[in-house]
Homo-oligomer: A and B are copies of this chain.
Amino acid sequence: MKIVITGAAGFLGQRLARKLLQRGTLSGPTGAQERIDQIVLLDVVPALGFEDPRVLVIAGDIANPAVVRQAIDGNVLSVFHLAAVVSAQAESDFDLGMRVNVDAARLVLEACRSGGCKPRLLFTSSVAVYGGELPEIATDATALNPRSSYGVQKAIGELLLLDYTRKGFVDGRVARLPTVSVRPGRPNRAASSFASGIIRVPLNGEEAICPVASTLRLWLLSPRRAIECLIGLHDASDDALGANRIINLPGVSVSVGEMVGALSAIGGDAAVRRIRWERDDAVERIVGSWPAAWDTSRAKALGLAGDSSFEAIIRAYVEDDMR
């Protein structure tokens, strides 16, 4: 089978591609595992470091209809649509956010629809679709009140994917991701970038800035578990999923103070001292509008597992990314 990953040069995209190449199979249209013959890696910059003959790299603008049609032709059976402009960037460049998070999502949906073989389309969404006055544990019945352009754009993508699925144009699944931490590499332009930075940077011996109060609670998932959940949700059967195709992935709910405590257990006081506390209202406003936890029963029923603790998340980072 032929599959496509958008945003494939990004951190999650690369990791997903590696994992799929290693697995070698994915659930096909009948529900049985099928051999992956080709993975198209689409991103605005080329996804580097893949020597596998099954990989086709396409570098191009995801908001360009011709590029999307080139990547998602009538033979594609599965699409992982990860390409996005992240939260702080979508807030500062409204038009770019609309172009990538809304217009490009529509192009992907239309390319899947016009292919005619009703591909599985896994779309990543975010804690940022929630906002405003939230119950302690958000649920499927909780109104979305996104307080950022990113959250609005992701909520629009969700609505479209559900409607395209209901109409039978695609077989869509939405993975609502907690904040993914600990991300390796350089900071990105997500408002939640610090949730990785305050762990990664001090462990690497450098100084990190924490822009929020230590009491702020976050809802976190490790990259390792996030990738497993994306593949697991892709492979879930129609019957197991039911009509509601939006799945809130599992997370761990921790305060920033508790995160620092876990850092201390692994990196010692020296690591903790490398955090400089410097409040940033814009970051705090966005991240503070997100839920600190949500109901994960549907994810669990599908066999999608989160992390056991934030300390386990840091240990996974050390294992996967610090060597």
Contact = CB atoms under 8 A, between A and B. Distances in A.
Interface of A: 94, 132-133, 140-147, 149, 152, 155-156, 159-160, 162-163, 166-167, 244
A157 to B, nearest CB: 10
Nearest to A147: B166
B140 A143 contact: yes
B142 A152 contact: no
* Number of chain copies forming the complex: 2
Contacts of A143: 140-144
B152 A141 contact: no
Nearest to A133: B141
Given A152-B159, A156-B156, A159-B146, A167 B133 contact: no
A149 B163 contact: yes
A162 B146 CA distance: 9
24 contacts: A94-B167, A132-B244, A133-B141, A140-B143, A141-B142, A141-B143, A142-B143, A143-B143, A143-B144, A144-B144, A145-B244, A146-B159, A146-B163, A147-B166, A149-B163, A149-B167, A152-B159, A152-B160, A152-B162, A152-B163, A155-B159, A156-B156, A156-B159, A156-B160
A185 to B, nearest CB: 30
A144 B146 CA distance: 13
Contacts of A144: 143-144
A26 B152 CA distance: 31
A44 B243 CA distance: 37
Contacts of A162: 152
A152 B159 CA distance: 6
Nearest to A95: B110
Contacts of A156: 156, 159-160
7 smallest beta-carbon distances between A and B, as pairs: A152-B163, A152-B159, A141-B143, A143-B143, A156-B156, A149-B163, A155-B159
A65 to B, nearest CB: 15
Contacts of A133: 141
A152 B167 CA distance: 12
A93 to B, nearest CB: 12
Contacts of A146: 159, 163
Contacts of A152: 159-160, 162-163
Of A133, A140, A152, A162, the most chain B CB neighbours within 10 A belong to A152
Contacts of A244: 132, 145
A7 to B, nearest CB: 22
Contacts of A159: 146, 152, 155-156
A133 B140 CA distance: 10
A73 B60 CA distance: 35
Given A152-B162, A156-B160, 18 more contacts: A94-B167, A132-B244, A140-B143, A141-B142, A141-B143, A143-B143, A143-B144, A144-B144, A145-B244, A146-B159, A146-B163, A147-B166, A149-B167, A152-B159, A152-B160, A155-B159, A156-B156, A156-B159
A147 B243 CA distance: 11
